[in-house]
Amino acid sequence: MLESGPFLSGGSEIANAFRGAMRRSAASAHLITTSTSSGETAGMTATAVCSLSLSPPSLLVCINQESRTHSILRASQRFCVNIVHAKDRELCESFGQSSSFEKRFISGDWQLNDEGMPLLQTALANIICAVDGQLDYSTHTVFIGRVQEVMLRDGAAPPLIYHNGAYGKFAAFID
């Protein structure tokens, strides 16, 4: 059933329809973490993460310019994409709440690497990147990360998925 006309125009009308369309797109949940040389850490939940190239290995993340994570990432020029295991739903939810910024790294199994970057030890993978480019677009910045290091864990474990405002886990079809 079509919820609105096939052709929408106008600021808030099309923005609301676009938001509704994007909520229908399931995506892996990620925790983007970063830290400064003085030890200040930041992190956020994100679904706007995409592989970019294998040569050189790179990806992109899109981060709201109003977020604290944005300012710390822009200053540090490095970040980690933690691909979240389905069992870490509550951790992902806490990173998604703006009111819990100071409490984000209290729960979860975190370890700092040699550069002080927080890595989630229960993540399916940790992808450490150096910022290789950035593009400000409206309310967000697209950060291009050149992959510096990758840590892989249980490949059979289910990733946390975000769809239509709720978290779930992936299940493969059994033929």
Domain limits, the chain:
27-157
> Which residue's entry shows tokens 């951790």?
91
User: Is the separation of the CB atoms in 167 and 31 below 8 Å?
Assistant: no
pLDDT score, position 175: 78
pLDDT score, position 10: 63
> Which residue's entry shows tokens 């009111």?
99
Separation CA 62–CA 70 (nearest Å): 9
Q: Which 8-state DSSP code applies to residue 103?
A: G
Query: In this predicted model, what pLDDT tens digit does every residue of 125-145 receive, in sequence order?
Result: 999 999 999 999 999 999 999
State the CATH architecture for 27-157: Roll (2.30)
Separation CA 138–CA 66 (nearest Å): 11
b or e along 44-62 (b: 16 or more beta carbons within 10 Å of the residue's beta carbon)?
A: bbbbebeeeeeeeebbbbb
Where is 141: in which H helix or E strand?
strand 140-152
pLDDT score, position 1: 44
Band of residue 24 on the pLDDT scale cut at 50, 70, 90: very high
Average pLDDT, the chain: 90
State yes or no: pLDDT of 6 exceeds 70: no
Q: How far apart are the first and last CA of the chain?
A: 29
pLDDT score, position 99: 64
State yes or no: pLDDT of 71 exceeds 70: yes
